[in-house]
Amino acid sequence: MSVFALVDPVLQGLLLGGLYALFAIGLSLSFGIMRMVNIAHGDIIILGAYATLVVVNQLGIHPLAAMVVVVPVLAGFGYLLQRILLNPVLGEDILPPLLVTFGLSVIIQNVLMAVFSADSKGVHADAIQTASISLGGGLAVGWLSLVIFVVAVAVVAGLELLFARTGLGRAFRATSDDQAVAQLMGINNRHLYAVATALAFGVTAIAGVFLAVRTTFIPTLGPSKLLVAFEVVIIGGMGSLWGTLAGAMLLGVAQVIGFRYDSGSGVLAGHLVFLVVLLLRPQGLIARTRDL
């Protein structure tokens, strides 16, 4: 076996992890801050992809430039959704938000189906979809994969900085610890939760744009992306965004190696690694311990 056969899938897998991290960050944020699991999370990614399609067709701009429109629109949608639909069902019982977001998932899929049909769609970008950089020795990385990976690292670093250094981040952490006492500090938790969802949807919209540029998509693709996001968050460890990135890279490497071994078993290899991590290290790669 040549070095190439070993290094190449690892490299491609790590880069794929960038996309998977972007898939997962929104889910990690809403669980971390509100203890809320958004079952429609995968559908929001797909909604972002279709929004990219619409923006590209209407404005005729580059798909990556569509982010400037898609991200704020989805963030605004997230804010309103949280305030109008999700805040009223958040409470001690975790079941109501699960049911509501499950319903939302069904609605989004069906609306997308009604508007765009079940045919697969894609957006055309310029050479970035196929261009690559040669690293010598037959190794090459795609420009697009590299851009996605760099954006993912930047998003994680930016969010970690936001959480550690800003008043908003402090309010997020305090509310995550104890939302009742956070209100005693003057924090309006309804508004704060809506801001958290706006942030989560904004990052998820970035993932949606990249998905649209990278591959074709259909309205019912959401649940499979939700599964990826779940696995990444659990492998990485709850509450740590660097852990999410690490988990995404591990899942990416597992899938690419699995795919090289047998083109039908890439996804299965990812699931197996997920199960192994769950068995050996249930707290995840980077666990953030809290004495609550």
Quick one: 191 or 271, whose CB is closer to other proteins?
191
Among 68, 150, 185, 275, binds other proteins (CB under 8 A): 185
Among 98, 187, 238, 267, binds other proteins (CB under 8 A): 187
Phi/psi for 63 (5° steps) reads -55, -35
Q: CB–CB of 263/75 below 8 Å?
A: no
The reply on whether position 171 binds other proteins by CB under 8 A is: yes
The reply on whether position 35 binds other proteins by CB under 8 A is: no
Q: CB–CB of 228/234 below 8 Å?
A: no
Among 127, 184, 279, 280, binds other proteins (CB under 8 A): 184
How many helices (DSSP H) and strands (DSSP E) are in the chain?
11, 2
The reply on whether position 173 binds other proteins by CB under 8 A is: yes
Stretch that binds other proteins, among 50-58, 166-174, 222-230, 262-270 (CB under 8 A): 166-174
Quick one: 126 or 177, whose CB is closer to other proteins?
177
At closest approach, how far in Å is the CB of 18 from other proteins? 27
Q: Which residue has the tokens 């797909």?
A: 46
Phi/psi for 117 (5° steps) reads 65, 175
Quick one: 153 or 238, whose CB is closer to other proteins?
238
3-class secondary-structure state, position 244 = helix
Interaction pattern, residues 261-290, with other proteins; x per rule: CB under 8 A:
-----------------------------x
Among 87, 101, 176, 244, binds other proteins (CB under 8 A): 176
Stretch that binds other proteins, among 70-78, 108-116, 179-187, 225-233 (CB under 8 A): 179-187
At closest approach, how far in Å is the CB of 240 from other proteins? 12
Q: Which of 60, 32, 39 is nearest to 192 (CA)?
A: 32
Among 189, 204, 244, 255, binds other proteins (CB under 8 A): 189
Amino acid at 184: L
The reply on whether position 93 binds other proteins by CB under 8 A is: no
Q: CB–CB of 34/193 below 8 Å?
A: yes
Return d(Cα 270, Cα 227) in angstroms, integer: 11
Q: CB–CB of 53/212 below 8 Å?
A: yes
Q: Which of 285, 248, 284 is nearest to 156 (CA)?
A: 248
At closest approach, how far in Å is the CB of 175 from other proteins? 9
Among 61, 135, 177, 275, binds other proteins (CB under 8 A): 177
The reply on whether position 83 binds other proteins by CB under 8 A is: no
Q: 180: buried, middle or exposed (CB in 10 Å: 19+, 13-18, 0-12)?
A: exposed
Phi/psi for 58 (5° steps) reads -80, -45
Residues of this chain that bind other proteins (CB under 8 A): 167, 170-171, 173-174, 176-178, 180-189, 290-292
